[in-house]
Amino acid sequence: MKRMSRRDFHRFAAVGAVVAPLAGISGQVLAQEQAVDNKPNAKQVLTPEQAKKVQESVAKREEKLAVMRSHTLPYGLEPAFVFRVCTPRRVATSAAKGSKD
């Protein structure tokens, strides 16, 4: 798929907003079509062994969550790490370097 600039995207969106009502296409009709398409075809069935493993995993998870929730954290606790945005490096210009003319 070809990359689209922001300007092109807005142009296509504006054309679609004008053409859709003229063509008689409403958002409700499109939403109904999408809702019909999203229905699952068949229900997923687990074997008894798989169901037992799932129940055991859920029980283990609940136990771990209960242990984590029982611990209280100090009010002034700092985060373990902080996200920082990586900014591009600045390129020094000749004027900034102090070149003599």
Terminal Cα-to-Cα distance of the chain (whole angstroms): 50
Residue numbers in the chain where pLDDT is lower than 50: none
The Cα-based distances of 26 to 16, 35, 54 in angstroms read 11, 15, 43
**Smallest Cα–Cα separation from 46: which of 56, 57, 38, 54?**
54
- pLDDT at residue 48, rounded to an integer: 92
- pLDDT at residue 90, rounded to an integer: 80
- pLDDT at residue 28, rounded to an integer: 60
How open is the CA angle 59-65-71, to the nearest 5 degrees? 145
User: Cα 99 from chain centroid?
Assistant: 48
The Cα-based distances of 49 to 10, 36, 63, 90 in angstroms read 53, 33, 21, 60
- pLDDT at residue 35, rounded to an integer: 60
What is the reported pTM? Answer: 0.36
- pLDDT at residue 14, rounded to an integer: 85
